[in-house]
Structures are given as C-alpha cells and as structure tokens.
Amino acid sequence: MAHYCSLNGNIVAQEQASLGVMDLAVLRGYGIFDYFLFKYGRPLLEEQYLERFYNSAQKMGLEPPLSRQELSRHLRELIAANGEDKGAIRLVLTGGYTPDGYTPGDPNLIVLQHGYPNYPESYFTEGIGLISHPFQREWPEVKSINYLTGIKLLPEIRRAGALEVLYHYNGELREAVRSNVFLVTEKEELVTPDRDILFGITRDSIFKAAEGLLPVIARKVSMEEVYNAREVFVTGSNKSVMPVVHIDGRPIGDGKVGYWSKKLKDGLEAYREGYYGAP
C-alpha cells in the first residue's frame, strides 16, 4: 500500500495531502485523470499515457503545473519513495481553485499510487457479465473525472451479477464505462467501435498483439452484432483482456470463455513485457 502521493510536484504522506474546497473538481466535477501500471519501477507505455493525459488537459483548457518531462521524472521519484516494484499510478488534474465557483483556475495535479490490479482469476477463466445502457458520453475523447452515469447504475449492475455497464447509442455499441469493447465475429474478425469512444491505450495494444493472428477492424458496430458475436471481451489498463460471457442475461456465444479471449490476453501480456525488455 502506497504511503506517499504527490500534489503539484511535492511528495507528501498520503494521509496529509489535501485539496481546498473551492477547487472546480469539487464544486463542478471538472477535471481529468489517467491511470496506468508500472513494473520494475517503470511506468508501462508511459509515452502513450502521458500523450493522452496532456491531450485531455489541452482539450479541457487546463495547463498542468509540471511539463511532460518533469512529470516523467517525478513519477519515478514517487515510485522510488513508495518502494514498490509494481503497482498502478493515477494522475488527476483538477479544474483549479475557481474565483466564482464556475471558471477554471490554475489546475492542481495529484499523483496517487495504487496496488497492482488483482481481479479474481475466475473473471478470466469463467468470464464476466455486463448490462447495457443507452448513453453517449459528452466528451468521449477526454478522460474526464465525470463518471456520474456509471456510478448511478452500480446498484443495477450488482443486482444483475455484472461487473460493468455497456454503453450504446442509437443501436450502436460505444464502450463500457471503464473499458473498451471488442467482439469476435463468426468470420473470425476482431471488431471494435471506431468513433465516439475513449481511445484506450490497451485498445491500441490489442491491435498490435493481434497482428498476424486475425483481421482487426475498427468500424461502426451494432448492438445486434454484439449479442450475436462468437466472443466479446473488454480491455483496460487494469483488466488486460477480460472475457464477457453474458450481457443483459443473454449468453455470448456458448456462454463460455472463448479461444481468442485467452489467446489475445496472452498476446497482450507478452507485448507489455516486451515493452520493458529485460528488467
């Protein structure tokens, strides 16, 4: 468990870190975040995650107090201070202290360190369930801190014995609340939506891991295709490749974890390890 976090470039004991009540993240939920893993003291796919983080900040009109190079160095300082060989990093950039309760100010940059993701093995060997919900995120290419809809639906998700909610809009698949979504068609094509979603770094890694194995197509995907897919899986920094065996209580394929879900999970893990090289 991490003992230290960072606030605006200063490493402090996590229980002593604080944010003022006039921050726009508190008053209006205005801010961004990102989340990625680290091993061997090094952030995974750091260049891609920081690129997305700074792009999100720019779109939201927020200027981080640290440059990309400064933040990169600072991440390593925090990881070293906490003394953990592997774990996860969460970056949060707030809307800053607002003069009028509405206008952004100078952003506050928070860096939190979490333990390495530890989902039950059964999620990968037996699969998970999803429920669907019609929703289009307002600013899908930005990794905003606003998760109002997903959190609101938590009781319904739990009642259904599901892990997450699957968003769709006008009959088209979008994404899961904290994951991208892939399906394997009867033609053994790997398909994923190509618009109005957050373009995940793990999503991009799946494209690379699938090279030479099966065709990968990013396009419009209907919910009918999802229900009739041979396999469905979700991807994310902390989920790797997680197979989906039922949606809205309807089985996907034969209702069991499929071949490609297992194969691409192995491929993704190999790709990730390849990024680090020899530790």
Over residues 160-183, the pLDDT tens digits come to 999 999 999 999 999 999 999 999
- Which residues of the chain are in CATH 3.30.470.10 domains? 4-114
Question: Nearest-5° angle of CA 126, CA 129, CA 134?
Answer: 160
When computed from its CA atoms, the radius of gyration of the chain, rounded to whole angstroms, is 19
Q: What is the structure's pLDDT at 2?
A: 61
- Which residues of the chain are in CATH 3.20.10.10 domains? 122-276
Q: For residue 159, is pLDDT > 60?
A: yes
Region 30-35: what's the mean pLDDT?
Answer: 98
Helix (H) or strand (E) run with residue 92 in it: strand 86-94
Q: What is the structure's pLDDT at 277?
A: 80
Q: How many other CB atoms are there within 10 angstroms of residue 5's CB atom?
A: 22
Convert the pLDDT of each residue in 1-24 to its tens digit: 569 999 999 999 999 999 999 999
Nearest one of 29, 25, 26, 4 to 15, comparing CA atoms: 4
Per the CATH hierarchy, to which homologous superfamily does domain 122-276 belong? D-amino Acid Aminotransferase, subunit A, domain 2 (3.20.10.10)
Region 72-83: what's the mean pLDDT?
Answer: 97
What's this model's pTM, rounded to 2 decimal places?
Answer: 0.95
Region 58-79: what's the mean pLDDT?
Answer: 97
Q: What is the structure's pLDDT at 1?
A: 55
Convert the pLDDT of each residue in 84-118 to its tens digit: 999 999 999 999 999 999 999 999 999 999 999 99
Q: What CATH number labels 4-114?
A: 3.30.470.10
Within its chain, how far is the Cα of 154 from the centroid? 17
Q: What is the mean pLDDT of the chain?
A: 96
Helical pair 201-209 and 46-59, crossing angle rounded to 10 deg: 140
Contact 150, 177 (CB under 8 A): yes
Residue 234: pLDDT band with limits 50, 70, 90: very high
